[in-house]
A and B are shown apart, each in its own frame.
Chain A
């Protein structure tokens, strides 16, 4: 059995999500190849070759692949698909954008966002915002899968010695044109891979007050997250959103401040190892999921917590 993992990278290394998709591939079992696409990706390909357990790195390097437009990347995956029984990618916004396009072209019913591998043809995935778990079996000759990254610990980025091979990057599909990107410049660790996440909700009341969350996060070396309510209210940009329709996180410590705990939000953080909730409403649903709950005014408790940590 051979497995192809479409791996996202930042130009110099594979992303943590890609390493989690590789961990999922190892659970399925078989020879694992990695596909790296982009423009000027020698460094990323070399990094991919060092990842533990990779047999071969396929590289498609061309200017029309620079922005990873689905219309241009999907045909590259499709062109090499004949050699593989599995095609995997992380269930990130990029994986979710590209992979269904590949699945449809291969006439395969994709399996989205899997959180477990029960057998080589049987997978577990959350449905209804994580309120139920579905076990599904695929009889398709090829399995096309996106992987919930928090459910698989990333493989080691070092220790492998894969060969690197160029593949045909195809031509520009001539459809979508990249206009621009607004990349958020948040300092501190990345939300989906941080060991500690501090998230704020509607209880903060304003973008100005959200600084309380950022200051506490800085003290803890934590990433900053937010509930949908806080994002919709414009306190922080969209990519801070933790939840079923935002990012799914599973840090060692998740601190939810001024977040009531809508199902939508819980779906994105309930796999965290330790959950702390600070909310002035003792009936807030977030307390049902929290290991440690503090019923308090966040405007007093948050600075006090920061101070206690600084002193320690």
Chain B
């Protein structure tokens, strides 16, 4: 079984983002960049399936600038077998990403695509579902458990009211939530080995994908700041403030 894992280069989750003063976006120059945390969970899950003998090959793919090769190296160090960079303009919208991944699926014919449920930069939460739609495949979104059987996968989804269990025929696409697994830290020898592995390169143009979409960003701003309040000294004072000042109880 072949698994494709798309990964995205994003501002590291622990960096406090700054909006550029000209409103053109969030500052990404000289900022620590990492693999989207949800995608790390996806890579981990795919590698575990490989280690368990369920998967035969794990392919990591990213779409973006050449710097995104760093994130592919991370995926290789974690245990992916191959890595592919699809060069494209920065800031592709989810629909364009889904179309590009669809073209990659045409080439690679994976049995399963495992990917993050959303990227922590644009928080769109669309690409997996869109890819499933374009391929006409089953989708399992926001999963916290995955069990792969013969020609099918059973997944547990985290939903608003609790958990939901579904059975998906393969090929299928799953998008992962935080509690699926705890990604490993790659070991140094694996990091060294990953540096030597080749990265396959192509472009959205080579894949024949139309990447323009109907959505444009007008501006990006800081959200209105919430002004900090006061410290109270006791529970009694807190109850008094809530009753007589805020009038919420």
Contacts and interface: CB of A to CB of B under 8 A. Distances in A.
Interface of A: 67, 69-71, 74, 92-94, 96-105, 107-113, 122, 126-141, 175-184, 192, 196, 220, 228, 231-232, 237-239, 244-245, 247, 252-253, 263, 270, 273-276, 287-296, 301, 304-305, 308-309, 312
Contacts of B204: none
A312 B236 CA distance: 11
Contact of B137 (A133, A175, A180): A175
Contacts, number: 256
Interface stretch (B63-71, B80-88, B213-221): B213-221
User: Chain A binding site: helix, strand, loop or mixed by DSSP?
Assistant: mixed
A287 B228 CA distance: 7
A305 B239 contact: yes
Interface in B187-236: 213-223, 226, 228-236
B167 A291 contact: no
A117 to B, nearest CB: 13
Given A196-B249, A247-B160, 19 more contacts: A69-B166, A93-B141, A100-B128, A101-B130, A129-B120, A131-B17, A133-B222, A139-B216, A176-B166, A176-B169, A179-B154, A179-B165, A181-B162, A182-B162, A228-B178, A239-B161, A253-B246, A274-B242, A305-B235
Question: Would you list the 8 A-B pairs with minimal beta carbon distance, nearest first?
Answer: A140-B214, A291-B229, A100-B129, A104-B130, A109-B213, A104-B133, A175-B138, A100-B126
A220 B229 contact: no
Chain B interface category by residue count? 35 or more
A181 B155 CA distance: 11
B139 interface: yes
A140 B218 CA distance: 15
Given A132-B220, A305-B235, A181 B163 contact: yes
B231 A140 contact: no
A184 B242 contact: no
Given A71-B139, A136-B218, A289-B226, A100 B130 contact: yes
A126 B216 CA distance: 15
Contacts of B167: 176-177, 179
Classify the interface of chain B: helix, strand, loop or mixed. Answer: mixed
A188 to B, nearest CB: 14
B57 interface: no
A180 B219 CA distance: 44
A302 to B, nearest CB: 9
Contacts of A175: 137-138, 168-169, 172
Contacts of A137: 215-216, 218
Given A94-B159, A132-B220, A252 B248 contact: yes
Contact of A239 (B94, B154, B158): B158
A178 B162 CA distance: 15
A217 to B, nearest CB: 13
B231 A287 contact: yes
A135 B231 contact: no
- Residue among B19, B131, B160 with the highest chain A CB neighbour number at 10 A: B160
Contacts of A296: 235
A292 B229 CA distance: 6
Contacts of B221: 132-133, 135
A139 B138 CA distance: 30
Contacts of A295: 231
A285 to B, nearest CB: 10
B51 interface: no
B98 interface: yes
A287 B229 CA distance: 8
A139 B249 contact: no
B125 interface: yes
Given A71-B139, A128-B26, A136-B216, A93 B222 contact: no
B166 A294 contact: no
B150 interface: no
A135 B246 CA distance: 32
A184 B162 contact: yes
Contacts of B223: 126, 130-133
Contact of B95 (A108, A130, A237, A270): A108
Nearest to A15: B160
B93 interface: yes
A109 B94 contact: yes
A132 B19 contact: yes
A7 to B, nearest CB: 15
A237 to B, nearest CB: 6
Nearest to B215: A109
B230 A291 contact: yes
Contact of A293 (B117, B163, B229): B229
B177 interface: yes
10 contacts: A99-B129, A109-B215, A110-B95, A126-B223, A132-B17, A136-B218, A179-B165, A184-B162, A275-B226, A291-B230
Contact of A108 (B11, B141, B161, B214): B214
Contact of B232 (A67, A96, A293): A293
Contacts of A112: 123-126
